[in-house]
Structures are given as C-alpha cells and as structure tokens.
Amino acid sequence: MQTESPAIEKEFMEYVKKISHYNEAVGLIAWDLRTGAPRKGAAQRSEVLGSLSSEIFAMSTSKDMKNYLTELRQESNWEQLDEVTKKTAEECEKQLKKFENIPPEDYKDYVILTSNAEVAWETAKDTADFDSFKPYLEKIVAYNRKYTEWKGYEGNKYNALLDDYEPGLTVDVIDEVFGKLKEALVPLVKEITNAKDQPETDFLFKPFPAKKQEALSREILENMSYDFEAGRLDTTVHPFAIGLNPGDVRVTTKYDENDFRTAVFGTIHEGGHALYEQNVDKKYTGTPLCTGTSMGIHESQSLFWENFVGRHYAFWERYYDLLKKYAEGQFDNVGLEDFYRGINVAGPSLIRIEADEMTYSLHIIVRYELEKALINEELEVADLPEAWNNKMEELLGVRPEHDGEGVLQDVHWPSGAFGYFPSYALGYVYAAQLKKAMLKDLPDFDNLLKKGDLAPVKDWLTAHVHQFGKSKKPLDILKDATGEEINPDHLIDYLSTKYRQVYGLSL
Amino acid sequence: MQTESPAIEKEFMEYVKKISHYNEAVGLIAWDLRTGAPRKGAAQRSEVLGSLSSEIFAMSTSKDMKNYLTELRQESNWEQLDEVTKKTAEECEKQLKKFENIPPEDYKDYVILTSNAEVAWETAKDTADFDSFKPYLEKIVAYNRKYTEWKGYEGNKYNALLDDYEPGLTVDVIDEVFGKLKEALVPLVKEITNAKDQPETDFLFKPFPAKKQEALSREILENMSYDFEAGRLDTTVHPFAIGLNPGDVRVTTKYDENDFRTAVFGTIHEGGHALYEQNVDKKYTGTPLCTGTSMGIHESQSLFWENFVGRHYAFWERYYDLLKKYAEGQFDNVGLEDFYRGINVAGPSLIRIEADEMTYSLHIIVRYELEKALINEELEVADLPEAWNNKMEELLGVRPEHDGEGVLQDVHWPSGAFGYFPSYALGYVYAAQLKKAMLKDLPDFDNLLKKGDLAPVKDWLTAHVHQFGKSKKPLDILKDATGEEINPDHLIDYLSTKYRQVYGLSL
C-alpha cells in the first residue's frame, strides 16, 4: 500500500503551481506585446510584467521556499517523494541559487528596463540608430556583469550565464566546439562562394501573397502534427514560439511577399519549438518541469525540422507540388532539382535570421565571442558596433553598412538574454547528432519525407526528447538519445557533404 | 510650500498600483480567452485566473490594506491627502467591504468555476443544451445568494449585487423606473407591430463580405475618435470592449455576412465603451479609479453612440455613402429614407444583442426580474428556462423554441455577473438624459452628425463623463451633467416619437 504524501509535499506542489501560474501570465503578456498590443499601452504593461516577475522572484527565493526545500531534503522525506516532486524540488533549488543573491529591487528594475528596452530597440533598429539604444544596452550589460557575481561561477564569468540557458556546458567546451566549426566552415564558405556552379535563385523573389503563404504554412504545421486546438499562428516582427501550457503553445511568423522562404522555413522552425512544448508529458503541468529542458535542446528541435526536414530534397519531393498550388505560377518553369538548389543557396550575409544553414553557426559565433567579451569587461558597449562589424568581416567576409543590419538586428540583447546565443549553434550540433541517431530507428527517413509521412519523425522526437520536459538534463537527453557527448563532427560532415553537392564540388 | 506626502501615502499608492497590475493581467487573460485562445489550454488558464484573482482578493482584504486605510483615515493624515489618494482610499474601502467577509477559498473556487462555466456555456448555447450547463449555474447562483449575505444589504437581498454594478441604485428605484418603461413600451411595441406601414428590410440581408465590414467598422471607429494606437479591433463570439489601461483599450466585434448591422452597430456600441476607457484622466492610471464609474454609466456611453448617433437619420446623411462604398451594390436601389427606416425596424424578437432600441429595455427587464427572483430564492435554476419563456411571452409576446435562443443566450450568468443586467436599461435611460443635456451645449447636434464631425460629441462626453473615471459616483455624474436625478421620461419620449414617426403613426 502506498503511503499518503505528507502534507509538506502537497503544500510545496501547490506553492510551485502558483509560481507556474504567474509564469503563464507573464508568458501571455510577452506574447501579446509582440503580436499586436497597442503601442501606447506598452509602458504600463511593462510595469505589470515588472510586478508579476517580482512576485515570481519573491516566491522563488522566499523563506517559505527555502523551508520547503530544506524539509523535503530531509532523508525521511526525500526517499518517499515521487519523481515529479523530486525533480521539481531540484529545479527550484536551481532557481533559488540563480535568484537568491539578486537584490529584489535590482531585479524588478531590470525586468522593467528590458521590457522598455525592447520597445526602444524596435525604433532604433528601424532607424539604424545605435546611439538611441546605447543607454539601455549599457544598463543591461552592467546588470548582467553584476548578475554573474551575484550568482557565482567557476572559471569564466560567462559560465554563470551559460548555466541559465545550457546547463552543463562551459566556455571551455564551447570554445572547443565552436573552434572546430570555425575551422571547418570558414574555408567551406569561401570555397562555396567561389564555386563556378552557383544555384539559380531569381525565381525565389517573385510576389507570393501573404494569405497564400499563411495557408501553406498552416498546412505544413498540421502535417508536422502541430495541434491547432492547442495553439495558434500569428504574425510578429521577430518570430518566436511560446508554450504557455501544453494546451496552449503559440507560433508566430512573418510574411515577406517577395520571399516565401522567410515564412515557410520560419514557420517550420517555430513549429519545431512548438512540438516540443505541446508534447511534454502532461504530468509535469503546473511545475517548472513543464517546458523544454534547455535553449540548446529546444533549438535542436526547431533546427531539426527547419533543416533536416524542411531543407531536405526528399521533403520537397512531396511538398513542391503543394507549394506550387499556393504560389501564383512562380515555379511553373522551375524543376525540382533547381528549386532544391535555389532554396539551399548559401553564402555570407548580414542578417542571422535570414542566414542559410551553412553560415548560420558563424553568425552565432560572432555574437558569442562579443557577448563573452562584454561580460568579461574586455569590450564596452560604446565599442560594440565597430567590434561587431570587424568580427563579421573576419568570420563571414562581409561588413554591415549600418547598425540596423548589424549589431541592432536581434531582440536578444534588448531583452537581456545574454548567454542565449550559443544555444542556437549548440542546438544545431545536437540536431545533427539526433538525425544520425534517428536514422538507426528510421532507416527509411528519406522515404517518409517523400511520402509526407512526418508523424514517425515527430514521434521519435517525442519519445527521445519532448516528453521529458525539464525533468532530464540537456546533456543526458543527448547522451541517451544518441549515445554520444556533444560532437560537432556530424554537423560538419552534413554541411560539407550537402553543400559540396549543391555547389557541384568534389566530395 | 507643499508638505511632502507622508511615507504611508506613498506606500499605500504603491500597494494599490500592484493590485492594478494584477487586474490588468486578469483583463488581458480574459480578453485572450474570448478572442482566440486555444481550447485545450483553457482549463489551465482558468487556474491562472484563479491564482491572480485570489491574490487581488487577498491584497484587497489584507491586514496591510486595513492598516493603510485606518492610518489614512486619521484626521491628521486625511486632511492633507490629495484628491486621487483620497478617492482611491474610498474605493479601496468599498472593495474591502465587498470582499472582507467572503471566505478566500470560496472566492478562489468561484473564479475557477465561472471561468470553466464560460467554456461549458459556449457548448451548451451552441447545442441548446441547458442541462449540461445547469450544474454550473446552480453553483453560481448558490454563491451569489451567499455573497449577498456575506456582503450585507438593506432592503432587498438583490441590492447587495446592484451595489457592485450601479452603486446608489436600489430595487425600489429600479422597480419604479422599469415599471414606467414597461407601462409605456409594452403597448408601444404592440402598436408598432400592428402598424400598416412596415419598413422594407429585404435589402439588409444581402451578402456583405466580412473584410469590407471590418474596413467600414474601422473607419467609423476612427471618426468617433477611437485611438487605434491605444487599442485594437478583434473578432469574438460575444462582443465586448475592455480597458486594460488608458493606452490599451480593446474592442471586439463579430461579422455576420448576411446582416451588416451586427458588426456596424456592435462596433459603434463597443467603441462607445472604449472611448470612455481611453479618455479617463491619466492621473488615475495605476489606481482603481482608472475605469468607468459604473456599468450603467458605461452603458450610457455605448448606447449613446449606438442609438443616439448610429441610428440617427443625420448620421446616415453622412455615412450612407461610405456604407455604399464598402458594400457590393447592396444598396444601389435603396433611398436614404428607406434605408433609415430599414435599420430602425423594430418589434418583438428573441435575442437581446440583436434587439432594436425600442424593445431592448424589455429584454433587460426580463433578465432583471428573473435574477432578482433567483437571488431572493423565489425561483430555482431548474425552473429558469420555463420562467424565461413565460416572461418573454408576457413582455415581448414571443416564446423561444429552444434554450439556445432563450435562457442560454447571454454570457453574463455563466460569468457570474448577477446584478449587471439592469445597468443596460439604466444606461439607456441615462443616455437619453445626456442627449437632452448635450443639446443645450450643442444645439446643432444633427448638423454635426450630418457633416461627420463627431469630435464635439466625443469631447462633450469626455468633459462630462469620461475624464472622471471612477472618482465620481454614477448618480453624481448624471446629476452634474444633466441637472436631473434618474428619469425615464426622456427615453420614453424619444422612443415613442421616433418609432411613431418611423412607422407612420400619429404623434
């Protein structure tokens, strides 16, 4: 007979549920601010976010929380806790460690600051006016520097931030992984750039009405097993997906009427994130475990779908006809082979979110090296635009003409997400490892795509990644799913094989 | 020299601001649930609402709140308070009185209950299945009966509920006002129904694409001075307007492609509510005063715009051409006079939100008499559908064929808003009084409408109603703006004059 859970455990889980409710409200407000909230209400809404985030902060670091955690850790209690409660307690301990030394007032001010900074950034970006945004970014960087000290770290200061987004990874490991990527990709990019046999791309840039793109995007999302009864699709400036609870996971996208790729690949990408959040085991609802385990693993899901599915030849064997159905004659004279080469055109460019999969990691490495330097006080915000431009030239061989297409292009710094960027490239590395492992279970992967039968792919990812939510650590997920530690070789192999082929170079 | 505000005052206002932030979050969640939140996330979202509402409840009745109010009331403090703080304290005292005797668990359960009840009601309404909704409504009624006891009342139990929506009014006054309305309107409706010269209406029910209706609605809203940078327009099942803060006041509507009147008059109506919320003096932001003073005064604004502007002949002298521009030939052979008579067709009907202005008050009186009986335990939920149908027959001469077009048609009871309904008819009575008063300042009212110059109308309402927010009591607003107490005679005069004319009867 099962002993009844002790009162302390129930109380703790109720307390945790309340925090999850506040987080859900914060998530909805964030979604709303980015999808259509009226401009004039935004400053006041930032204060609402500040109040709610402060409350989350206060609850996560309260005496009550500390008492719960101490009591649960008592041996007589700990042993009889169920798995969900145990993992929840561990996650709360992690949050407590993250927050407990931050002065509450600083934290609240910071939440309001970043909310206002996002609004200021929108204008600064549109007008390429770094100076108007500089005061915000200086305050944000200063806070993050202090934060690393409040939180503590081993080795590099930046490790304190990494731990928030990709626990288990350190500057040492990332420097090695990114070093290998640079070593392989910088010459590959040059080789591709100089290849004689460049793909045709004219046909990509013809008018494709937004309404038609939307219909296509919805059809692909449905094929991916995205559940529209547990989500919705909206437009925004900087697309994202957000899981409020497993029954409400929203995707956003944007439509460029002269380049359908923005919406199609963007939606597949965000759909990959959304599938993760929709398929976390329901038993974690109302706990901090009910979300993706890390930004890197999250990105492995979006990039898996975007690149290993969406940019695969076999995928378009099925979906090219569908695309043609929605397009207005744009591809009538374009064969599948040319289409495939066209959508996989690669080469140096300025904008990360429009970058191809070959150069994408290099865009990330630019940001990683800059933010690592900012946090370690080896670089100041005033010098950032110049440093950005130099780094772009060094890794990608291109230099922005203004900050709107340079240092101001991403929402991450305005929103205070220092330590986030590496996850994109790490996720990509993980995705290549997952693909390798998936092929063992689904050797007919290409054929599934060709048939448009995407459910087995989604089911494999749910079984190996999604279902665990945050109850399993990122590197454990990777290890259990692939049998390996982090290893960039699979990504390098994939990229050099694919792009040598697309560009007609010897393998 | 001004003395500096004492610390207690500042602390109190900070505390109140936090409550306003939680209210704003609750408002956004409610808007989202009604405009497109995915179905599968709704139950979890209800729990979020429950948590936030509980916190608002807890803060509004906390020891801290009681201490603040006690300290502020000390003579040495009270005298030096500024107007905003004084009125805020008075409003908090009112909230405290409202909440302090409700057991917190009952309150939280009730918030979750009504949130779930709204979801259940949607289905029940669509399938005309009262039984599936009955258990929810029984619990809601039971709570409201208890609530009147917790809160206390003088005279009729129902006065406790009235005080939440229309402070200052009682069952005695309403019975008298509604009695006069019934006495005048029931025979007028019969007379109109039997009039020989009925308006033509065929042309109303032709296809009018939703997109075009939306463009028309937006143009009218803009002409009304609705600020789209401080709001947005969305679609929903049961249209509403909601003020989250003065910079974010949202309007919702719905488009019936076979009857443009739903959207056009619905949008003008909700736009009237929205103008109120957008034009509350900014100095009240972050306090409980930053909203309409009562549901009745709120409704006076929406009905003023819908009926005294939107259904006025002079309005269509200007806007009929605009309507024609958006319509697809629907009115090509319809003269303005016939159009005016057509949109003002009146007579008994089943659905309140589609009712004409002549019968509208009777729909309200049906609901008022039923909910007054429910609260006073003179009627049980099981007997409600039958009682509804009988009352409809008695006052309007029509009987619903199923509960979907009868007792299940409104969201108010599912959402627990007992005591709300009378405000609609009271607002209508107020609106007629305001129109009478406005004519003294704007004798060329008809001509303004004819020119499409609606700004002076909006400005008059801002000056006499909007700006004060909740800092002024409803009957004081009415008295100061019109020089009168509540008086249904103006509405009765307006309706009998207008409808006798529309129906070609002797005046």
What confidence tens digit (pLDDT) does each residue in A339-364 have?
A: 999 999 999 999 998 899 999 999 99
Instruction: For residues A26 and A49, give the distance between their C-alpha atoms in angstroms, rounded to a whole number.
Output: 6
Nearest CA in chain A to B23: A48
Q: Please write the tens of the pLDDT for every residue from A229-284.
A: 999 999 998 899 999 999 999 999 999 999 999 999 999 999 999 999 999 999 99
For chain A, what percent of residues have pLDDT higher than 90?
Answer: 93
Its ipTM equals: 0.89
How many whole angstroms separate alpha carbon A494 and alpha carbon A485?
18
Task: State yes or no: pLDDT of A507 exceeds 90.
Answer: no
What span, in angstroms and rounded, lies between the C-alpha atoms of B250 and B234? 8
Q: What is the pLDDT of residue B77?
A: 85
Residue type, A490: H
Query: Does position B4 have pLDDT exceeding 70, yes or no?
Result: no
- Which tokens is B397 given? 């001469």
Cβ B245–A37 below 8 Å, yes or no? no
pLDDT digits (tens, 9 = 90+) for B202-257: 999 999 999 999 999 999 999 999 999 999 999 998 899 999 999 999 999 999 99
Instruction: Determine, for residues A229 and B40 on separate chains, whether the beta-carbon distance falls below 8 Å.
Output: yes
Element (H, E) at A221: helix A210-223
The confidence score (pLDDT) of residue B5 equals 55
Measuring CA to CA, how many Å separate B499 from each of B204, B307, B345, B506? 19, 13, 9, 10
**pLDDT per position as a tens digit, A361-390:** 999 999 999 999 999 999 999 999 999 999
What pLDDT band is residue A5 in, cutting at 50, 70 and 90?
Answer: low
Nearest CA in chain B to A18: B51
Q: What pLDDT sits at residue A353?
A: 85
Interface size between A and B, measured as CB pairs under 8 A: 117
Q: Vertex A76, ends A75 and A78: CA angle to 5°?
A: 60
* Chain B residues within 8 Å of chain A (Cβ atoms): 17-18, 21-22, 24-25, 28-29, 32, 36-45, 47-48, 50-52, 55, 227-232, 244-250, 285-286
CA angle A289, B51, A107 (to 5 degrees): 65
- Average the pLDDT over A220-234 and give the result: 98
User: Is B273 annotated among the ligand-binding residues?
Assistant: yes
Would you say B293 and B94 are in contact if contact means Cβ atoms under 8 Å apart?
Answer: no
* pLDDT tens digits for range B476-494: 999 999 999 999 999 999 9
Average pLDDT for chain B: 95
CATH of B171-502, one of 2.40.160.20, 3.50.30.30, 1.10.1370.30, 3.40.50.150: 1.10.1370.30
Who's near A53: CB < 8 A, 6+ residues apart? A26, A107, A108, A111
Please give the structure tokens belonging to residue A478: 């990777």
Identity of the residue in A48, A51, A248 whose CB atom sits nearest the CB atom of B40: A248
Q: Which active-site residues of B does the annotation give?
A: 270
| pLDDT tens per residue across span A124-172 | 999 999 999 999 999 999 999 999 999 999 999 999 999 999 999 999 9
Asked if B248 lies within 8 A of A45 by C-beta distance, the reply is yes
Who contacts B167 (Cβ-Cβ below 8 Å, separation ≥6)?
B94, B294, B473, B474
Reference A305, options A241, A399, A401; nearest CA is A241
Q: For B231, which of A22, A38, A248 is closest by C-beta distance?
A: A38
DSSP state of B506: -
Decide if A38 contacts B248 (C-beta within 8 A): yes
Torsion of CA B390, B393, B399, B403, to 10 degrees: -40
The verdict on a CB contact (< 8 Å) between A25 and B40 is no
**Average pLDDT in the B143-170 region?**
96
* Residue ranges of chain A whose CB lies within 8 Å of a chain B CB: 17-18, 21-22, 24-25, 28-29, 32, 36-45, 47-48, 50-52, 55, 227-232, 244-250, 285-286
What percent helix, strand, coil does chain A show, rounded to 5? 70, 5, 30
At A159, the amino acid letter reads N
Task: Quickly list DSSP for A346-402.
Answer: ----S-GGG--HHHHHHHHHHHHHHHHHHHTTSS-GGGHHHHHHHHHHHHHS---SS
How far, in Å, CA of A296 to CA of A476, rounded?
13
> What is the C-alpha to C-alpha distance for residues B425 and B366, in angstroms, rounded to an integer?
11
| CB-closest option in B39, B42, B247 to A41 | B247
CB proximity list for B50: less than 8 A, separation 6 or greater: A21, B108, B109, B111, B112, B115
Q: What pLDDT is stored for residue A1 in this prediction?
A: 40
Q: Mean pLDDT throughout A189-210? A: 95
Domain A171-351+423-502: give its CATH code: 1.10.1370.30
- Picking from A15, A23, A28, A233 by the largest number of B CB atoms within 10 A of its own CB, the best residue to mutate is A28
Taking 90 as the threshold, does the pLDDT of residue A438 lie above it? yes
Contacts with A283 from chain B: Cβ below 8 Å: none
Phi and psi dihedrals of A181, rounded to 5?
-65, -45
Nearest to A44 among B18, B247, B250 (CB): B247
CB within 8 Å: A41 and B285: no
Share of chain B above pLDDT 90, in %: 93
Least confident residue range of B46-50, B317-321, B395-399, B430-434: B46-50
Contacts 24+ apart (CB under 8 A), A395-398: A395/A182, A395/A186, A395/A362, A395/A365, A395/A366, A396/A189, A396/A348, A396/A349, A396/A359, A396/A362, A396/A363, A396/A366, A397/A189, A397/A190, A397/A193, A397/A348, A398/A348, A398/A349, A398/A350
Residue-wise burial string across B261-293, b where 16 or more C-beta atoms lie within 10 A, e elsewhere: bbbbbbbbbbbbbbbbbbbbbeebbbbbbbbbb
Measured CA to CA, the distance from residue B320 to residue B342 in angstroms comes to: 13
CB < 8 Å to A241, chain B: none
Distance from CA of A278 to the nearest CA of B (A): 10
Indicate yes or no: CB of A28 within 8 angstroms of CB of B32. yes
Any binding-site annotation on B363? no
Strand partners, B251: B233, B241
Across the interface, whether the CB atoms of A230 and B45 are under 8 A apart is answered no
pLDDT above 90 for A7: no
Tell me: is residue B378 an annotated ligand-binding position. Answer: no
Cα torsion angle, B60, B464, B25, B234, sign:
positive
Q: Do A38 and B245 touch (CB under 8 A)?
A: no
Name the residue facing B21 among A21, A38, A51 (closest C-beta).
A51
The whole-angstrom distance between A246's CA and the closest CA on chain B is 7
B2 has pLDDT over 60 = no
Nearest CB to A48 within list B24, B42, B50: B24
**Average confidence (pLDDT) over B335-362:** 95
Q: What pLDDT is stored for residue A115 in this prediction?
A: 85
Region B443-466 average pLDDT:
98
Residue of A39, A51, A54, A252 to mutate, testing the B interface (most B Cβ within 10 Å of its Cβ): A51
Domain ranges of chain A: 7-143, 171-351+423-502
> Between A225 and B50, whose confidence is greater?
A225
Backbone angles phi, psi at B245, to 5 degrees: -155, 170
Are A226 and A276 within 8 A, CB to CB? no
Give chain B positions within 8 Å (CB) of A55: 55
**Phi-psi domain of A506 (left: phi exceeds 0; alpha: psi -120 through 50; beta: other):** beta
Whole-angstrom Cα distance, residue B412 to residue B407? 11
Q: What is the pLDDT of residues A442-459, one digit of tens each?
A: 999 999 999 999 999 999
Q: How far is CA A11 from CA A7, A25, A65, B387, in A?
A: 6, 22, 10, 46
Please answer whether residues A199 and A338 qualify as being in contact, where contact means their C-beta atoms are separated by less than 8 angstroms. Answer: yes
Nearest in space to B78 (alpha carbons), one of B5, B171, B179: B5
- Chain B residues whose CB is inside 8 A of the A231 CB are 38
Contacts of A243 (CB under 8 A, 6+ apart): A27, A249, A274, A276, A277, A278, A280, A291, A292
- Using CA coordinates, name the residue in chain A closest to B15: A51
CA A401/CA A339 separation, integer angstroms:
31
- The tokens describing B435, both together, are 């129109």
| Active-site residue (options: A118, A166, A270, A357) | A270
List the one residue out of B452, B219, B210, B207 whose CA is nearest residue B331: B207
* A40/B227 Cβ within 8 A: yes
A270 is catalytic: yes
One DSSP character per residue, B287-342 reads STTSS-S-HHHHHHHHHIIIIIITT-HHHHHHHHHHHHHHSSSTTTT--HHHHHHH
Residue-wise pLDDT tens digits, A41-94 = 998 998 999 999 999 999 999 999 999 999 999 988 898 999 999 999 999 999
Cβ <8 Å between B51 and A18: yes
Q: Treating both helix axes as pointing N-terminal to C-terminal, what angle do B63-73 and B83-99 enclose, rounded to 10 degrees? A: 140
Strand partners, A242: A250
Higher pLDDT, B75 or B288: B288
Q: Which residues on A lie below 8 Å from B51 (Cβ)?
A: 17-18, 21-22
